[in-house]
Homo-oligomer: A and B are copies of this chain.
Amino acid sequence: MPTNPIIKSLFNHRSIRKFKPDPIEPEVLETILRCGTRAATASNLQYYSFVVVDDPAKKKAIGFPDVPVAIFAMVDVYRIKRWLETNDTVPLKMEGVNSLFTGMWDALIALQNVVVAAESLGLGTCYYGVGIRMDVRRHLGVPEYVFAAGLVCIGYPDEDPGLRSRLPLEAVVHRNGYHIPSEDDIRRWYAERERTWDAVQKDKKAKLAEQGIHSIPQAVAAQKFSEQAMKDRSTGIIENLKRAGFDLGVIK
């Protein structure tokens, strides 16, 4: 296996949820944000912005009072629109599906560069899905055509968790086309994940059993993919898309 400091750093990623109170030095923060902007970007238009949150009241308002810094990667077509309009060019369809998906792509690969850079400098990071569901217009004052693509919290680690296991590579890599797995494939790929049930504490198991949950996949189905769970998680995203003015209604 070829290796180098970059490969080693990528392989060493753990999500860090507990941070020391130490702030991130301004020059470190600037460096990791600059690394974000060096990521590839569609037509060199940078369809994104970062919103860096370190004000204590603001961190509390978004639900992260104890992290040194929270960084939102926003799809930002608003800034592009402003540029075009400033130059007597009237854009016609900034709200298109293409703007949104190009922006998601741009924003998330830029954010991952921030994460990779941060970890290389001894910082810990954790992505939080709630970032795309919360009302960023209210909390952060974002204008139209701005939509949160991702949120990561960053700080100096105050824990040292082990690496989490991943599915075997064959489960996620397809060659020259998507190969539909057999039942045996699925069972083999997920065997390690299913065994994590053994580590669940007895009283927690008893509580889950009352809800008809007797295994990891049953817990995942109930917690992540029940109709109610999906609705709860999707609602905030849909509201944010509407507030941002992205026209996904054309799909129906």
Contact = CB atoms under 8 A, between A and B. Distances in A.
B173 A33 contact: yes
A8 B219 CA distance: 43
B2 A86 contact: no
Nearest to A94: B225
A94 to B, nearest CB: 6
Interface string A202-242: 00000000000001011011001111001101100110011
A115 B40 contact: yes
Nearest to A57: B176
A143 B38 CA distance: 34
Q: Oligomeric state, in number of copies?
A: 2
Q: Provide the main secondary structure of the chain A interface.
A: helix
B84 A31 contact: no
A39 B83 CA distance: 34
A120 B172 contact: no
A134 interface: no
A22 interface: no
Contacts of A101: 104, 132, 237
Given A2-B27, A7-B120, A45-B224, 19 more contacts: A7-B35, A13-B40, A41-B166, A49-B172, A50-B172, A51-B174, A51-B177, A55-B176, A58-B177, A79-B186, A80-B220, A86-B186, A86-B187, A104-B105, A109-B150, A113-B116, A143-B178, A249-B249, A252-B252
6 contacts: A2-B27, A6-B120, A38-B166, A86-B183, A104-B108, A105-B150
